[in-house]
Structure formats: C-alpha cells, structure tokens
Amino acid sequence: MEELDFKEAIERSLKIRELYHELELQHHGSEWTIEEDALAFLTDAGLVGRQTMSQQGRWPAGKDSRKELEHKIGESMWWLIVLANRMDVDIKDVLGEFLTKTEKLLGK
C-alpha cells in the first residue's frame, strides 16, 4: 500500500465521519455527540491494549489477532482526527507542537 499523506488522512477521516453521521441519523434520529465519539475512541483504544496483549502472548489470540490489532490502531488514529476536528483543535498543529516540545525536552 502506498504511503498516506497526513493531510489526505485527515480529509478522508472527516468524510468517513460524515457518512457515519448519516447512518446515526437514520438509525437513531440524531448524530453522536462529541462525548459519544470520545467514548467510542476510548473503547477502541482499550481494544488496542487487549490486542497488544494477544500479540505479545499474554492473552489468548483470536483467529485474526494481528489484523484486528492493525485495524484498531488505525481506527484509534481515525478517532483522534475526528475528535480534534469536532473540538476545533488543529491536529497537525498540536502534533507538531507536541513533537517539538518533546524533542527539546529530550535534547534533540
């Protein structure tokens, strides 16, 4: 698979979230709130932990444990992009600021 540009990842992520909002309206009559999105992210982040345990041999592995781990890592990144956007946080800026600050703290 070709390398994904971060700007493209953000655009595609937000488009997918719009499509999910349409499904939420169809099934529930309203879009999920930011809090519901955050809870969904935390659930998927927890599943990253469980799949990591499985990958490391510390939890019984399912049939497609590796694929599920990869999927949940990608999904967690997607949720962070969505959450940042919904809360008017520029994810590119905050990631860049975090990396710069942390590099300085570590003497890089």
Q: What is the CATH number of the domain that holds 50?
A: 1.10.287.1080
Structural domain contains residue 98: yes
Between 86 and 56, whose confidence is greater?
Answer: 86
Q: State the average pLDDT over residues 87-99.
A: 98
Q: Is residue 1 part of a domain?
A: no
**pLDDT the model gives residue 60:** 86
Report the alpha-carbon distance of residue 2 to residue 36 in Å, rounded.
32
Q: What are phi and psi of 74, to 5 degrees?
A: -60, -45
| pLDDT band with cut points at 50, 70 and 90 for residue 62 | confident
Would you call 100 exposed, middle or buried from its count of C-beta atoms within 10 A (0-12, 13-18, 19+)?
exposed
User: 9-58 pLDDT, tens per residue?
Assistant: 999 999 999 999 999 999 999 999 999 999 999 999 999 999 999 989 89
Pick the closest to residue 78 from 25, 6, 23, 30 (CA basis).
Answer: 6
Check residue 104 and give its pLDDT. Answer: 97
What residue numbers bound the domain in which 24 lies?
6-105
What is the number of domains present in the chain? 1
Q: pTM of the entire structure?
A: 0.92
Q: How confident is the model at residue 61 (pLDDT cuts 50, 70, 90)?
A: confident
Task: Give a yes or no: residue 20 inside a domain.
Answer: yes
- CA–CA distance, 21 with 36 (Å, rounded to integer): 12
pLDDT for the residue 21 = 98
How confident is the model at residue 64, as a pLDDT?
Answer: 80
Measure Cα distances from 21 to 10, 16, 27, 63, 68 in Å: 16, 9, 10, 31, 24
In a domain, 48, yes or no: yes
